[in-house]
Copies of this chain bind each other. A is one copy, B any other.
Amino acid sequence: MATTSESLQEPHWFEKNIAFEFIDSTLRGCAQVMFQNNPITGLFFFIAIFVGAYSEHIPDVAWGCLISTLTATLTGYFINKNRETLRAGLYGYNGCLVGVALPTFLATTPVMWVSIIFGSIISVIVTICITNVLKNWNVAALTAPFVITTWIILLASYAFSHLPSIGLPHAMLPQQLAARHSPIFHFTASDWLSIFDGISEVFLLSNAITGILILIGLAVESLWSALFALIGSSLALLAAVWLGGDSLSITTGMYSFSAVLTAIALGAIFNKPSWRILLYSVIGVIFTIFVQAALNIALEPLGIPTLTMPFVIASWLFLVSKSTDTK
């Protein structure tokens, strides 16, 4: 932190164009959570997050997100010299999600705010590390740096009394769903609205308006991305109902958010849209539902959430596999 505040006092930082450039990089950082290199998209996402967080009465989530995206982008300026990566917002998006996740699960304490700033710095170091490791196989870090950084801080919160949790799931041993919940689920017309909740859950919010604002932001840069986000969320909803997932998870979009990201990644970003790719993406999205359910269970004894790891696992598998496809 010391260096960053020192450097802020260097005169060239106050030149107008650098300040604009920094804001532009930060907005792109938020947009890159869903793979878009566009500051307007980022602005829509920030608005969506503030609307969602304030309507759920958790303003810390919105402010945490803003602070962490700024911190991660600033860290990018100091830690690395790859200007293109920096300007595309690729150092910012993992920090952005760290700042959303920590105030969602931890109590608002001074240590929590320091953890947001520290976690944002760490997320940049982890991003550079994972990018290096994956270079050999020509795949991106996706949101793995966010998940790893946040899992470490959330697990650590169990051991640190000055960093208490408020919303972490209670650690338990897995049990058959049938033994826990009534699996009967009446799917009504209004439940279709949860397709938008599923999109907003990418930022850990369950709010249809937030989801719609995110879709508009996506459409600004890429109609294919907006379309695949809708396909991913709808398909996840149907698959989870058909497999017999519990209704609370389904209607709050818990089965959809990773599927949304897989759908955009496989269908619109890392492959060119085609019928063959559409089929491949559909298989990938359904696989993401299985990974989501599996990781929900696998993390039960640890008392932490999956975050977007199901998306990361499914997309890595499908992208590395695809990279040798000779067709």
Contacts and interface: CB of A to CB of B under 8 A. Distances in A.
A59 interface: no
Interface in A192-241: none
A243 B122 CA distance: 17
Q: How large is the interface on A (under 10, 10 to 19, 20 to 34, 35 or more residues)?
A: 35 or more
B132 A324 contact: yes
Contacts of A189: none
A259 B156 CA distance: 15
A165 interface: yes
A18 interface: no
A323 B130 CA distance: 12
Contacts of A318: 125, 129
A326 B81 CA distance: 7
A92 to B, nearest CB: 16
Interface stretch (A26-34, A35-43, A94-102, A289-297): A289-297
Nearest to A121: B283
B302 A302 contact: no
Given A125-B321, A283-B121, A158 B132 contact: no
A58 interface: no
A244 B159 CA distance: 8
Copies in the complex: 3
A294 B107 CA distance: 17
Interface stretch (A8-16, A44-52, A171-179): A171-179
Nearest to A115: B290
Given A155-B297, A159-B297, 4 more contacts: A160-B243, A161-B244, A297-B302, A301-B302
User: Which residue, A111, A132, A326, has most C-beta atoms of chain B within 10 A?
Assistant: A132
Contacts of A23: none
Contact of A173 (B2, B132, B172, B298): B172
A155 B81 contact: no
Nearest to A118: B286
A151 interface: yes
Interface string A273-304: 00010010001001100110111111001110
Interface in A117-167: 118, 121-122, 125-126, 128-129, 132-133, 136-137, 151-165
A174 B161 contact: no
Contacts of A125: 283, 317-318, 321
B321 A129 contact: yes
